[in-house]
Structure 1
Amino acid sequence: MDKIGIFGGSFDPIHFGHINSMTTVREKMGLDRVLVVPTAESPLKVKTQGESPEARWAMIEAGLSHQSEEFQISDLEIKRGGTSYTVDTLRELQNSGSEDQFFLIIGLDQLQQFDQWKNFDEILNRVDLIVTSRPGLHFPKIARQFPREIAEWIEDFDGQVAMLKNGRSIYFVQLEDVEASSSEIRRKIRLGQPIHGMVPSEVASYIEEHQLYAALNKKIGDFEKFTHFSADILKDHGGILVRAFDLREINSPSEFGLVTSGTSVRHASSLAEKLIEETRKKYGVWPQGIEGLKEGRWVVVDYGSLLVHVFYDFVRQEYRLEDLWKEGKEIKL
């Protein structure tokens, strides 16, 4: 009976952070194999502009080309299509007659929202969890620091392993921090910046050869015009003091910046959602990244050459983002 780790994700693209996680976990936990499972569509992530499952699969193959046979890629979720739920993948793997012992590898950020996963209780009954560290987050030290629904399952916790009442376990594995994220890699590519040191050279070559992650800029085209379009959407839906800036002459991660605020956290989230919806209708693209949408205090909608910041109004006054852009040119709306 082999010990197999299940490592899922969108891998859009795969990067050294992913590879570091799976290799470290395999070594520290004594796993025989790690099964890499790219999703068809993630249930808990806001839809963003990304590459096709076929392209993501090819990048995983390229990224793991120099790894050992202990890393295998599974197309279970891509073949199944639709929203990818981990519980469905576990059922398929375990109902195939396999006697192997499976471990689900997740990040600490995922543990914090694990009770939102479909049939999370069934997952806890089916497999042990291996939770890896994330920069800026801290492992729980006592059971009460787990999400409430997970804490109710814990029989004993020594700070490294949580023993569950059903006989399963949750293991914690500290990783060496690797500064790489798929969203940041996509951003750098669209801005024409190098990604060396973030992805294996084989992945970088595949991206360049197939001109991946360029569709958003091509479809939008004129980003100054797009900034005006976005500003109009925000104003039409009650955005407070919408301001736009041309940042091309200053050191900035984007060429244009747009800022507004809502009267409440719900209003701020609603403004961002409406912008995403209307942009999808007109340009046929999703943002390449979205942060803060659930909380609504500070929502960032990333369209590459345009970054849109939607604040809850009191938070906007605290951060005074416009002061950082004062060396740029304000666009008359």
Structure 2
Amino acid sequence: MTKIGLFGGSFNPIHLGHIQSVIDVTDRLELEKVFVIPAYLNPHKEPIEGPSPEQRLEITKVGMEDYKEFVNVDEQEILRKGPSFTVETLQTYLEEYTPEEIHLILGMDTFSSFDTWKDFEFIVKNANLIVTSRPGNQLPFSIEDIPKGLRPYVAAFDRNYIELTTERHIEFVRIEDVDVSATEVRKKLRTGQRVEKYLSYPVEEYIRQNKLYEPLGDKIPDYREFSIECAKKLNDRGGLNTKAFDLTVLDYPAEYTIVTSGTSSRNSSALAEFIQSKIKEEYGVFPLAVEGAKEGRWVVLDYGALIIHVFYDFARQEYRLEDLWKEGELMYGLGVESSED
């Protein structure tokens, strides 16, 4: 029986953690071939600033060049364009392979929301799942620790192996992973930090030669004014108690920050979506990273030197982030005379 792996993702950019996952899973499961599949558009993530899908494809090819004996970079999702749904890609592999032969590789963080994927029921009937655990991840202790939608499909549960009623299985694999995320790599690249611990030399060189992940400073020349302008827009849109801080005197990941609140989690998500849209329209940039947009309890938009926090107001009172910024300068908000200029 032929055993293949399907490893999809944004690969923005492909880093040593991705590569180590492929190597370890191939080794332990004795896979004959792994198909690495860059997504054109991840339907579960917000758009962020970065290379085009075609450029991410090229980066992935460069990163996997030394492993082409057992790795094939599949272009189909890039060529298909639009949202990249795993179920559609899986259907193309079922034309050549049986469900027993196909092993879908995904990380533990992705697995936690697997039951929100389009037609996930079809996937668990037609592919085995291989879930890799990164440093710090806990394996499921019981059936309650796996996504709720998957629980009815469990025939037998073991901490490292789950048999499914579909005659497929879920296997958990601990990997010798590089403890890094693509978000962290992008941040380091844009701030000029060293990344040789996280990227292969060919990938780092390709990024440098093609001037990818450049700082946003060229598009946002004055972050102080940019921060105040964004705070005003959020306030005018109905954000509660909107404040902007200059944190350049503090040891903080960003030089400036904004905090505002919505009246509900839905309102918070809408405020975050609004400011992203305005910034894209006026400055031509997406955030470098987005967290919490779907839940809306605490949405974080990372624009490099500016980080925007949009809370559901109840959660804002719970976390009290402003207490951490007391030593910074309040540039916009209640008590700042120029805030209404």
SS at match of 1:66: helix
Taking only the aligned residue pairs, the percentage that are identical comes to 43
Partners of 1:227 and 1:60 in 2: CA distance:
35
Q: Does 1:251 align with 2:230?
A: no
C-alpha separation in 1, matches of 2:134 and 2:292: 18
> Alignment partner of 2:65: what SS?
coil
| Stretch moving more, 26-35 or 308-317 | 308-317
Conservation of the 8 A alpha-carbon contact between 2:191 and 2:215 = no
Q: Give the Cα–Cα distance (whole angstroms) in 2 for the partners of residues 322 and 8 of structure 1.
A: 39
1-structure distance, mates of 2:241, 2:181: 32
Amino acid at match of 1:107: G
**Residues 327/196 of structure 1: CA separation in 2 closer, same or farther (3 Å cut):** farther
- 1:21 is matched with 21
Give 1:216 deviation, angstroms: 3.8
2:198 counterpart of 1:198: yes
Secondary structure of the 2:66 match is coil
Measured after TM superposition, the shift of residue 88 of structure 1 is 0.9
| Distance in 2 (alpha carbons) for counterparts of 1:215 and 1:254 | 13
Unmatched 5+ residue regions in structure 2?
A: 333-338
Contact conserved, 1:190 with 1:217, CA < 8 A, in 2? no
Asked if 1:325 corresponds to 2:310, the answer is: no
Structure 2 residue 294 is matched with structure 1 residue 294: yes
Deviation at 1:150, TM superposition (A): 0.6
Give 1:1-333 correspondences, 5 Å limit. 1-67=1-67, 69-95=69-95, 97-98=96-97, 101-214=101-214, 216-332=216-332, 333=339
Q: Is the Cα contact below 8 Å between 1:248 and 1:328 reproduced in 2?
A: yes
CA contact (8 A) 2:57 2:78 kept: no
1-structure distance, mates of 2:170, 2:294: 27
Secondary structure of 1:57's match? helix
* 1:68 to partner: Cα distance: 5.2
| Residues 133 and 139 in structure 2, CA contact (< 8 A), matched pair in contact too | yes
Supply the distance in 2 between the matched residues of 1:215 and 1:51 (Cα, whole angstroms): 13
Give the CA deviation at 1:242.
1.5
Residue pair 1:87, 1:119 contacting (<8 A) in 2 also:
yes
User: 1:58-98, CA deviations, whole angstroms, 9 ceiling, x for partnerless residues?
Assistant: 21122223335112211011111111111111111222x34
For normalisation by structure 1, the TM-score amounts to 0.93
User: Partner of 1:195: helix, strand, or coil?
Assistant: coil
Distance 1:182 1:74 in 2: 20
8 Å CA contact retained: 1:246, 1:329: yes
Query: Structure 1: which amino acid aligns with 2:121?
Result: D
User: Could you tell which deviates more after superposition, 264-273 or 120-129?
Assistant: 264-273
Counterpart CA distance in 2 for 1:108 and 1:206 is 29
| Aligned AA (1:248) | T
CA distance in structure 2 between the aligned counterparts of 1:134 and 1:179, rounded to whole angstroms: 7
Find the residue that maps to 1:163 and give its secondary structure: strand
Distance change (3 Å), C-alpha of 1:127 and 1:98 = closer
CA RMSD of aligned residues (A): 1.9
User: What is the one-letter code of the residue matched to 2:146?
Assistant: F
Q: What is the alpha-carbon distance in structure 2 between the residues aligned to residue 220 and residue 141 of structure 1? A: 47
SS at match of 2:187: helix
Q: Which AA in structure 2 matches 1:323?
A: D
Counterparts of 1:246 and 1:190 in 2: how far apart (Å)? 20
Number of residue pairs matched? 332
- Cα deviations by residue, 1:170-218 (Å, 9 ceiling, x for unpaired): 1111123422111111112222222221111221111111110227432
Identify if the C-alpha distance between structure 1 residues 53 and 154 changes in structure 2 by more than 3 Å, giving closer, same or farther: same
Give the whole-Å Cα distance in 2 for the aligned partners of 1:215 and 1:88: 35
CA drift at 1:295: 2.1
Deviates more, 1:176-185 or 1:119-128: 176-185
CA contact (8 A) 1:185 1:195 kept: yes
| One-letter amino acid of the counterpart of residue 262, structure 1 | G
SS of 1:65's equivalent in the other structure is: helix
Alpha-carbon contact 1:230-1:275 (below 8 Å) kept: yes
Q: 1:112 corresponds to which letter in structure 2?
A: S
- The range that moved more, 188-197 or 216-225, is 216-225
- 1:129 match: secondary structure: strand
Cα distance in 1, alignment partners of residues 266 and 246 from structure 2: 28
